[in-house]
Structure 1
Amino acid sequence: MEPGILIKTERVKRGWSQAELGKRVKISQVAIKKIEAGETRTSKYMPKIAQELGIPLSKLDSSLSQGPVNQGSDVDLTRPKQALQVIPGEQLMGDVDLPVYSIVRGGRGALVLENEPFTYTTRPKRLAGKKDSYGVLVIGDSMAREYNENDIAYVDPRLHPKKGDPCVFQGTREDGTVEAIIKYLDRSPDASETVYHVSQTNPEKHFTIKKSDWQKVHVAVGKESGR
């Protein structure tokens, strides 16, 4: 079903007018009309529309679709992922100087990386001396079993990401907001491609995200359990 038709169907089910949906999403009735008519195919408000109507974002935004993965020679969906291992206390060292940022839910349903650290923690040995490394306190359960809500993922931005790595993807939007997600790389990055092939564990699925939307890819090298 076309995104516009799906949006209209779910809106009507709830007895909402275009103006009511627009009010909830904070855009005009005319903008909703154009989206439903298919005149507007992409919009930064799609995540919020999906959230309000209970529609999976992948059905509205093709850049986050779960379409078939190109199963070329570099793709092995059965290959074990590099799970984020809990780093034991004896491997933590030095001063409490590793900045930890929080990923929070933004106003339009996106996951936003805060621009200031909310705390500092002791860095693991493998990040000793790497001043640009950092930690991320995550929310949500899309990668449950590998990390859970309130775990801190340790990130080394100097590592070259490869197939199987858990990675923090960052994208800076037009208003300066930095959005972030954590997913597995299903195949090593190829400079000739315009997308990353990624996956998650809960629910398990494989999909693509646009490189133009996610300009930075940093490798997560371990975690501190929040439990």
Structure 2
Amino acid sequence: MSSDLATRIQQRLSELGKSARGASLEAGLSDGFIRNILTGKSTSPRGDTLEKLAIVLGTSEAWLLRGEPAEIENSDRRERTKGFSPVIIPGEQLVSNDKKLPVYAAARGGDGHHIVTFDPIDYLKMPAVLQDVKGGYGLLLTGDSMVPAYWPGDTALVNPNLPPARDTDVVLYHTPQFHQGEEEAIIKRLVGVNDREWTLEQYRPERVFKESRADWTVCHRVVGKYNAR
């Protein structure tokens, strides 16, 4: 471990009590990603990957690369993000070798919306969080309105039977008719709810906004995800 980047990553891992593998998975990367940096097998990450590492390690991109002091606003961003990451489902929680979980495609629409086609594009192994859940499904995502929680190509794991709950990720639909055509949907974080409206949050661009429950009548809970990477 000779590079300054590797030294700083190891410092933060030690301070946080995290393992290289655990931090890699928390960032939505391959389990050996950070280990390869520490052992000199990979070069410095850039762009979105560096940003994800900085968030998980509780610092800034500038500090990781050059040792510059972490900016205050990065700490604020971590506070907003730390409760927002869905559970990443590891391989040992795949409970069946049979591929029974239907995956629907969510094509990018306008204003952060998705157009979901209820004709499975694939079937995946069933994760423990959806075992014996009637109507459970995966949603293959595009667009970047929910980065860093969900990146394009990630699959959200959805339980349609759980009630709405604050501080969870949800998929809202107008009037879904599953397995029949297409439906407009949005995947956001549920900040609050009352009889009239949903209060939702997204991250790119950052905003909190309200939508009418009369317009978005159905709420499905996201219980985890499969990473595209």
Aligned length: 146
**Structure 2: segments with no counterpart, 5+ residues:** 1-78
Q: Who is 1:135 aligned against?
A: 138
Q: Is the 8 A contact 2:84 2:149 kept in 1?
A: no
Q: Who is 2:188 aligned against?
A: 183
Measure, in 1, the Cα distance between the counterparts of 2:113 and 2:90: 32
Q: Is the 8 A contact 2:136 2:159 kept in 1?
A: yes
Q: Who is 1:83 aligned against?
A: 85
Question: What's the offset of the Cα at 1:105?
Answer: 3.4
Question: What's the offset of the Cα at 1:85?
Answer: 2.1
Question: What's the offset of the Cα at 1:97?
Answer: 0.3
Q: Is the 8 A contact 1:91 1:125 kept in 2?
A: yes
1:91-120 deviation line (CA, Å, top 9, x unaligned): 011121011001113599952110211111
Residues 109/125 of structure 1: CA separation in 2 closer, same or farther (3 Å cut)? closer
Measure, in 2, the Cα distance between the counterparts of 1:164 and 1:179: 22
Q: Is the 8 A contact 1:91 1:124 kept in 2?
A: yes
1:203 counterpart = 2:208: no
Q: Is the 8 A contact 2:86 2:224 kept in 1?
A: yes
**Structure 1: segments with no counterpart, 5+ residues:** 1-76
| 2:145 partner letter | S
Question: What's the offset of the Cα at 1:186?
Answer: 0.6
Matching residue within 218, 221, 227 for 1:219: 221
> What aligned pairs does 1:55-74 form with structure 2 within 5 A after superposition?
none
Residues 125/110 of structure 1: CA separation in 2 closer, same or farther (3 Å cut)? closer
Measure, in 2, the Cα distance between the counterparts of 1:83 and 1:154: 13
Matching residue within 151, 167, 171 for 2:170: 167
| 1:96 partner letter | K
- State the TM-score, normalized to the length of structure 1: 0.59
| 1:147 partner letter | Y
Q: Who is 2:158 aligned against?
A: 155
Question: What's the offset of the Cα at 1:206?
Answer: 0.2
Question: What's the offset of the Cα at 1:82?
Answer: 4.0
- The alignment partner of 2:92 has SS state of helix
Instruction: Give the structure, 1 or 2, with the largest relative contact order (CA under 8 Å, sep 6 or more).
Output: 1
Measure, in 1, the Cα distance between the counterparts of 2:130 and 2:206: 30
Question: What's the offset of the Cα at 1:207?
Answer: 0.2
Q: Who is 2:95 aligned against?
A: 93
Q: Please say which of residues 79-88 and 176-185 is displaced more in the overlay.
A: 79-88
- The alignment partner of 1:179 has SS state of strand
Residues 145/125 of structure 1: CA separation in 2 closer, same or farther (3 Å cut)? same
